[in-house]
Every structure is written in structure tokens, then in C-alpha cells.
Amino acid sequence: MYPGAHLATDPHRAAVVMAASGDRLTYAELEERSVRLAHVLHTAGLRRGDVVALLTDNSVRAYEVYWAAVRSGLYITLVNSHLGASEVAYIVGDSGAAALVVSHALAGLAEEVRDHTPAVRLRLAYGGPVDGYEEYDAALAAASAEPPADQPRGADLLYSSGTTGRPKGIRPELPDRQVGEPGDALVELLRTFYGFDRDTVYLSPAPVYHAAPLRYGACVHALGGTVVMMERFDAEGALAAIERHRVTHSQWVPTMFIRMLRLPEKTRTAYDLSSHRAAVHAAAPCPPDVKHAMLDWWGPVLYEYYASTEGIGMTFITSEEWLGRPGSVGRALLGELRICDEEGRTLPAGETGTIYFAREEAQFAYLGDAEKTAAAHHPDHPTWATVGDVGHVDDDGYLFLTDRKAFMIISGGVNIYPQEVEGVLALHPDVVDVAVIGVPDPEMGDSVKAVVQASPDALPGPELERQLIEYVRSRIAHYKAPRSVDFVDELPRTPTGKLVKGTLKARYGAT
């Protein structure tokens, strides 16, 4: 379904609400404005398979642009608003975007990008004027509000987060159906496993340009619920939003859990969270101690999944299942799991290797990179795909992530996975944030280094370094413990909580 399907029953229901300001967009407004924008795009010459790029802060307008593109058979590319002008221009150009829509909140960045995106034919700006862009509301006002007769389903064309290099566009095949016709597997999964429906009030605390917030919000619209979008994540503000908007469902990354857990007990217990039925989390591995603490606080409402922007497959696990298998990200919901060794041979349960999903429906390509596309697919099974993660399954098919293959440390010929060490340090009272990397070592090949953002009341230095190393050694094998600890003011993370290890490793001369 799509938002227009709910006009007959709920035209005045909020499709999107901003958590702090209360700015809202009803289903009637979302339908009319996305139709008008679809006509604007068509008049500008965009046709099925063309691309619309969107550079925005978190705003109700984002979903107008999304649904205008999707109901026009277009690809929609949301651009990370925290990138520099050259990086934004690269994505707009690489995607082949014929239209670029921007928010006035990012006017300076949008104006810098303008002269470096010559292939863009249509430029629109909402929320206020931006030099070199047409006024969005004026363009919509001049367009028809009559839905087009032909509304082929479009898709998102999103870019990888670039944590280990330059981002790549992930281009799926366009569905062969009209926008109102059934066939969206994610919508059905959210309905079945998380209980999403027309009464859902979904809190989205992350940037809308990220795949999960964008796609989950679209699924909420397909079912007739309400998306509550935070302007930006704030630990106490998130709790306040759950209470104020009577949120039923939400989605998080582990960094957000850690920041909420660090709130004073008096603050954490001050808000009414009784409406909250399902807290979905993914995007990065959740340290077991963090998840246990969240379950103690919120109860068994946590649902974890493992997936990727590439859409190759998905696993799922409930709170009850996780307590029986701490550290697992669940069993496969979309696709079938395959664990393979370096030669591509399938490994038995319990053995660690590269994680593949076997799924014919998940065909995609990295835009303009045939070599990377080929490397993401199994050499002997073209419908098996991977994003380079490493892990194993148990005898019952539950997946346990080890780490990204690219992040593995080889020290003295032994494989060490940073994720395990990071999980130990994540809730140490003197640690706000942590990353573990391998740095060059003339004797061992790699040496394990922890890079730590210390808590405000801690004293970074040799004594704290010694304490942290001993803390790890007391909990896991000694050879996995850091040999050194560096203290920094802040670690490089994307706004969605992913650690940018490529930047961090380059800083230390690691490969």
C-alpha cells in the first residue's frame, strides 16, 4: 500500500510528527503534496528509472519527496547531510540524479554543491530560500493534485556508510508493479513479527537518510500508522518523546542504548514508557552487557535484527530467545544463511566464516562497480550475497556475528575480532566510547590497540590504561586484550552510530 490508500478512513491522521516541535503532516497532506511533486518531476522530464537526490535534515518534507519518487517509478537517493560539499557532489553525480531537493537548513552546503552537480536538471529548496534552487512550495502549488494514471513503483538507491572507504550506491532492481499493489516483503515482516499496524506510533531517533529509519517509516505509512521523527537524537529527549507521543514502536542503535543507560537513575525513571511495546535495534553489534541492562530496564520488548542496506537478507530474534542465546542476532527471516570459508566452501554449524544469504529476490548491484558487485556474490552461487561480515550459526540456525572481515586483527598469526574486546569495554564506568583496531607491530604483525573516549570524571593516562587492560584480561583471553590504550576527545562515528574505522585506522597507519 501507499499513503493515499488511507484517505478514505484516516485523512486527518498524522503520517509524520516532529518529536520536539510538533510539526505534523497528515495523510491527506502527504498524499496531495507527493502527487503534486510527482507532476513537477514528470514535467522536468524524469521518467521510470531516473534518480531524485534529497539533501535534508530530519523534516516532514522528507517523506513527501520519498513518496513522490516512489509513486513515479524513480529511484530516491537520500544523501548524508553530515558530508562535505565534495562528498555530497560525488554522490549526487555518481547516482546520476536528474533532480536535487534540499532543505533550507542546509543552505550553505546546498549552495556549495550547486556548481559541482552540472547534470542536475531540477533544483528545489524547501523551508526557505536557497540560492540557485527553485522554491519548493511554489512549484507544488503550480502542479496538479490529480494522481497520475500510471504510478509504477520506484525504489531507494542508497549509499553505503563508507566506514571502510568511499560510499557506493546500492541499486536494486525496480519492482514490476504499481505503487498501490501488494508485494513489499518488509511491510509484511514488520506486521507479522513486530506487530506494526494502523495504530502504530513509531519513534525514529536517527537521521532519515539512513536505510532503516527511511524504510521503516515508509512501512509505517503503508500500514497507516504515525512516524514520530526526532529532530536529532538526545537521550532524555527520546524518553520524553515516548511519553509525549505515546510511542508504541521504536528503533535504535546500541550507541543510543549506552547513552540512555548513562542518564542518572532519577532521569531514567521519570518518564512513562508504558505505551512502548517493541524496541527494535540493529545497525551495529550490541554488547551483551548493554542488552542485559536494557532488558532489566525496559523489559522483554527488545527485538533485534541483522540486515544491510543491500537488502540481501535478514535475521530476527526476540528478547526471550536472546536471553537463551546471548549475543545471537537470530535466525533467518529473509533468505537462507550460509557460512563459507575463504574458498567459498559451506561450513558446518559452529565454524566461523563469511556470512552469505541465499535469496533470489535480493538482486542488487553496486553502482558503477562491477568488481565490488562480483565480490559480494558467491563465486559458485550467484544468488548468494554477503557484505563481508563474519560469524557462525549454532545447531538451531541462530546466527552469531564475529566482526567485519576487514576489521579482523592478525596478531602473531592468531585472529582477533575487535568487536569482542569492544563489547567488554563498552560499559566500563570510565569509558564513554571505544574502538579496537590493529596497529602495525614489527614482531607480531598487528598489535591490539583500544582507542577510548573517557568519561568526564575519569583521568586519562597510564593508570587508567593499565586498569582497562587488566579489566579486559580478567574477562576474556589474555591475547585478545589491548597492548595499549589511547585516549581521545571523540571517536569518528556516523550519526547512525557506526564507527568509521577506516578513518581511525588511517590515523594510526593501519591497513
Instruction: Identify the pLDDT of residue 510.
Output: 62
Could you say which DSSP state residue 331 is in? E
Instruction: Identify the pLDDT of residue 163.
Output: 45
Instruction: Identify the pLDDT of residue 7.
Output: 84
Task: Give the residue range(s) of CATH 3.40.50.980 domains in the chain.
Answer: 3-222
Query: 367 near 169, Cβ under 8 Å?
Result: yes
pLDDT along the chain (511 residues), means of 10: 81 96 96 98 98 98 98 96 89 97 97 96 98 98 95 93 68 88 85 94 95 94 97 96 98 89 94 97 82 96 92 94 95 94 94 92 82 90 90 96 74 76 89 91 82 94 96 87 94 75 78 52
Domain at 3-222: CATH code: 3.40.50.980
Domain at 408-507: CATH code: 3.30.300.30
Instruction: Identify the pLDDT of residue 164.
Output: 46
Task: Give the residue range(s) of CATH 3.30.300.30 domains in the chain.
Answer: 408-507
| HEC letters along 185-229 | HHHHHHHHHCCCCCCCEEEECCCCCCHHHHHHHHHHHHHCCEEEE
Residue 267 three-state SS:
helix
Query: 154 near 67, Cβ under 8 Å?
Result: no
Task: Please tell me the pTM assigned to this model.
Answer: 0.82
Task: Give the residue range(s) of CATH 2.30.38.10 domains in the chain.
Answer: 307-406
Which three three-digit cell numbers place residue 37?
A: 511533486
Q: Which CATH superfamily is domain 307-406 in?
A: Luciferase; Domain 3 (2.30.38.10)
